[in-house]
Structures are given as C-alpha cells and as structure tokens.
Amino acid sequence: MVAKPVFLTTDILIFGLLLFIIAFFIYASRKPHMIQPWRQVVRNKAGVISIMVLSVYVCIALLDSMHFHPRLVNQENQSAEVRYSGDVLSMFDQIVSKLRASTEKTYSAPFAAQLYAKETMQLPDGTKQRVYPRLSWGAAHLDDPETQKTTDIIKLGLAGALKAFIAVTLCIALLCFYLSVKAKKSLRTTVRFMFSDESDVPWATVFITFAIILLMLFAGAEWASKYHVLGTDKIGEDVLYQALKSIRTGVVIGALATLLTLPLAITLGIMAGYFRGWVDDVIQYIYTTLNSIPGVLLIAAAVLTLHVYINNHEEDFSSLTQRADLRLLFLCLILGLTSWTGLCRLLRAETLKLREVDFVQAASAFGVGPTQTIFRHVLPNVMHIVLITLVLEFSGLVMAEAVLSYINIGVDPTMNSWGNMINSARLQMAREPVVWWSLAASLFFMFTLVLFANLFADVVRDALDPRLVKQ
C-alpha cells in the first residue's frame, strides 16, 4: 500500500453528514413539493454565488478529512518490510505538499524576497553588517529581486489568468453542448436561452462567479509556487497554508455542533408548544436553567476536564492528531449542547401559533393523533425557522471557535484554526514593525465563510418560509 488510511472520528462524522445530505436531495428530487423551494434557491443570484463559494470551502474541508500515514521508502532495501510514518497527513496536504514544505527561518511579508527583520551577517571582506537576509524558498529563483520581482509577479498572475480562461471556456463549451443535446436544440439556440431572462438558472452569474473562483485558484497557485503569497509566521510556516488548513476546523465545528442542536431543539421546542401544560413548564425550566449558566465557563470547565483526562491517558492516543481530533469533537459536543436553547424557544413560540391554526384544529377534530399532526402539519411549517437558524448558528459557531481559541479553551494548539492564528497574531501585532498578515488572512477567510453562509441562509429562508412563497 502507498499509504495507510487513518479514520478520525470527525472524518467519519463529516462524511456521514455528506452522505445524509446527498440522500436527502435524491429523495427530495422525487417529491415536487420538496424540490420546488430548492429550485427557487438556485434561481436566485445571491443563492447561486453563495452555493459556489461555500462549495469551495466544503471541498477543501473534505480533502483535508481524508487522512493517512505515508509510506516510508527504504532506498537501500526495496524488499524490506513496509513501514509507515507516524505523521498523519491528508489528501489536501499531498496536493499542497510544496506549500507545506516551503518554510523559512522566521517572519516574511507577503510576496517578500527577504526576511522581515534584519540580521547580522558577515560580508566577504570580513566586515559585519545588519541586512535583510534572502529567503531560502520565497523568490529564490530571482537573481535581483528588487528589479525582477514585480515583473515576475505580473507574469505569474497572467499565466494563472490564462489557465483560468482556458478552463472556464472549456467548461462553458462542454456545458452548453450537453444542454443542447439534452434539450435536442441547436447549440446557438441553447446559448441564447441560457443567457435570456426565460432561463430558470442565472447562467451569467454562474459563469462569472466560476471564472472569478478559478482565476483566484489558478493565479494563487502560480504565485504560491514561487512566493509566500500571505507571508510566513514566527516559525517560518506559510500563512496561506495555515489559513487553508483552518477551513476544515471551521467547517467541522460549524456543521457538527449545529447538527447536535437539532434533535433537542426540534423535539423539545415542538413538544412545549403543542402539548403546553406541565410539559411546557418542564421544558422551559430546563432551558432557562441552562441559559443561567455562563456558556464560556461551562465550555472552559468541560475542555479543562478533557485536558486532564488526555494527560492521564496518553497511552490511548497513538498520535497528536488523534488527541487533537478528540478535543475538536468534544468542543463540538459542548457547543452543541449549550446552543440549542435559542432554536427551542423559537420553535415553541411558532408551534403555539400553529396549534391554533384552522388546519391543525381540523386535524385534531377528525381524531388525528398528536404524533401524526406534528409530523404532517406542524414540523413542515417550522422547517424554515430550523434551516435559517441552522445556517445562522453555523456562522456563530465558526466565530465562537475563534473566540474560544483566543482565550486558549478552544481547539488543540497543534491544530490549525483561525482562532489559533488570531491568538498567535495577538503578540505579533505588538511588535515593531507590525506583523499584520496572519491576522488579516484568518479574518479574511473566516469573514468570507460567514458572509456567504448568512447570504445563503437569507435565500433559503425566502424559499422555504410558507408566508413568503409566491402563490
């Protein structure tokens, strides 16, 4: 075997969630009333842009969730027993292996050819001078960076733009040809229809967004092959690599912690609103009591308890990656158990209103049981609240990880995350000259994820809310 697979708990959960989503859309595609709202999402320009940007984040997270032990190559004895490294890598690490290995001595600015701080170096004549040393990898191919760097950056950017243009043109041509064959129309007629107002999908928006994404990917790849696009940190590690590796942490925390809130919130919220009486009183007492406990203190106590357990049972973990993964899973669990109360309150209030609606009263009058009434009439009419809250909670949990890691009670310090990047950048901002790129990179990637998640939530709300659906 070239590599030995490693199955982390969060990897299994994230791919299980992906299979569930695929199965849901396959099932919904056979139900016109279920697939119609999602078609409305695709018709919306903001919805299409959000889906495409979020898909890039999800693809990176999935690639970074395929872990393995790389095989050790014995050059002297090829027939020896196969051995594997103790390091745990991912498919994403393999794809950006050059970026991962391109380390420097310490800080360097974006697209820089020298270190960010001066060092004392001995000149050929024996004298010593304070200079900015050349980087061992960034811009190392240039003989005179001061005169050649700007031209080289432009050339690499144009090369990436050309590759993106070719890829976009090829993809558009193949898509137009496929749609023309499927619709049994001429290619010219199909292209005109795609870019007309009669098309259900805003193809112009799709192609422009796709072109921008590919331009950023190809141009970024060209630049990253020769430069540190976002600079390096204190230990010389590439900041772009750290920011991209942090995507998986953000997506895992946002997705898993959000899904953990759903069973409790939906079950207890609808039960409290539908049955009222002592059931409502007990459920209100539970979430009111939980809300009275400061969330940060509860999370801190749980994380510190887990930290003590890990230190006392180090033999149970074969690698630092597995230990960090357990802490990540535990953090998702704690965040999920402390954030379900808001959705529960919303569902309780909505169910109290739906309980008095005519069709629910009519179902009860005809002898329909509570369970059937809830699943047939109440639950479908509160799903818009569930989905909008789901995406908003996702955004909030992504930002919560950054805050918790900033105060050292978030994910493991050895795990890449935007919170850990912000925490390390806190000290870098206090030095002179200021090292700003680690903070800027983490905030940019986190801001982009949260922004498009919120835009997607708005579009989904408009499509699923029965009061906003156009008749």
Structure tokens at 155: 């050339």
| Amino acid in the structure at residue 265 | A
Q: What is the pLDDT of residue 79?
A: 56
* pLDDT at 469 > cutoff 60: no
The pLDDT confidence band at residue 410, using thresholds 50, 70 and 90, is: confident
Q: What is the mean pLDDT of the chain?
A: 84
Summarize pLDDT for 194-232 with one digit per residue, the tens.
777 777 788 888 999 999 999 999 999 999 988 989 989
Question: What percent of the chain stands above pLDDT 70?
Answer: 96
Pick from 54-63, 170-179, 290-299: least confident: 290-299
Residue 280 · residue 348 · CB < 8 Å: yes
Arithmetic mean of pLDDT, 314-332: 80
316 vs 353, residue with greater confidence:
353
Q: What is the mean pLDDT of residues 33-51?
A: 85
Q: Is the pLDDT of residue 116 over 90?
A: no
Instruction: Return the pLDDT at 471.
Output: 44
pLDDT for residue 1:
56
CA 235 to chain centroid: 25
**For the residues 151-178, what does the mean pLDDT come to?**
92
Give the mean model confidence (pLDDT) for residues 174-180: 87
pLDDT at 354 over 80: yes
Q: Of the ranges 62-66, 151-155, 179-183, 294-298, which one carries the lowest mean pLDDT score?
A: 294-298
Instruction: Find the mean pLDDT for residues 339-349.
Output: 87
